[in-house]
Amino acid sequence: MAHGCYLMFFILSYLLLLSLAEEQRRVNLSCPSFSCGKFRNIDFPYSKRKHPECGFCLIDDCEKPVQKIQLGKDEPWFSVTSISQDQTVTLYDQVFQRHLDNRSCESFKNISLPSSPSISFEIQSYLTLFKCPKILGNIPMNFKMSCDDSMIYYNHPDDDDLPSLPPRCSLIQLPVAVSKTRYASDLFRLLTGNFSLKVRPNWRARRHCIDCPSRGGGQCLINSMGYLHCSNTESYEKNHRVNIFRFLPRVRPDVT
């Protein structure tokens, strides 16, 4: 009996290894790593125009001195200065930096970063601001400045002790230049358009993205309902829905 159990375990383990090897082979064939400009050996969650189904972040301008990246479909383009193996990407937001250089109140808006069950992004070094109507009065934070009809409140970057967000105020998180903390009283000099993002992809979704070529091609996308679909195959989304949420880890409720 024991020998039979061991044999069954061996067979199942062997079949699992074969399945994993086949899946990896399909990934390597369908979505090979690629180079773009100064960047080498790039792969999921990044892609290029030739293989848009291979990732959610499109990298382009490979023949130009500076490459650009789009973090999701219809999202703005950023200049990209580095891509690290630890899933960190460094960007340069020219529009945001221009607002800072012009000391414009347009600076104080959250940078557009997509977030979905498939992938999310986190600014590595950021400063939290409270943007409030002037009529609210004073808020206990280190610094404040007037901008148009609002007051901007913030603490020194080394001070993580934030008060509760007052009613009618909005919370804004913007990249901060860690090397410029001596300019804490000058918010426009403290913030920066050059910043790093931590990229957090859902790796379980990768196997479904590489099937896009067999479904008609196009980029692997996530719709507003959390379903994966290929951009060139609208009918597939209706007839073969794949709910991305079921690939996320399940948290078991505590049982008391």
- The greatest distance separating any two alpha carbons of the chain, rounded to the nearest whole angstrom, comes to 80
Task: Tell whether omega for the bond before 45 is within 30 degrees of 0, i.e. cis.
Answer: yes
- Measured CA to CA, the distance from residue 161 to residue 158 in angstroms comes to 9
- Three-state SS letters, 171-226: EEEEEECHHHHHHCCCHHHHECCEEEEEEEECHHHHHHHCCHHHHCCCCEEECCCC
The residue written with tokens 């290894």 in the block is: 17
Residue of 64, 48, 46, 67 lying closest to 56 (CA atoms): 46
Q: What is the pLDDT along the chain (256 residues), one digit of tens a residue?
A: 555 555 565 555 545 444 433 343 343 336 778 999 999 988 888 888 887 777 788 999 999 999 999 998 788 999 999 999 888 999 999 999 999 999 999 999 998 888 777 788 999 999 999 999 987 777 889 899 999 989 999 998 888 888 999 999 999 999 998 777 777 889 999 999 999 999 988 766 666 666 666 655 566 665 555 456 666 655 444 444 444 444 344 434 444 3
Q: Parse the chain into domains and list their residue ranges.
A: 34-125+175-201
Question: Given this model, what pLDDT does residue 173 score?
Answer: 95
Question: Given this model, what pLDDT does residue 169 score?
Answer: 93
The residue written with tokens 């099937």 in the block is: 211
Q: How far apart are the first and last CA of the chain?
A: 38
- Measured CA to CA, the distance from residue 236 to residue 216 in angstroms comes to 9
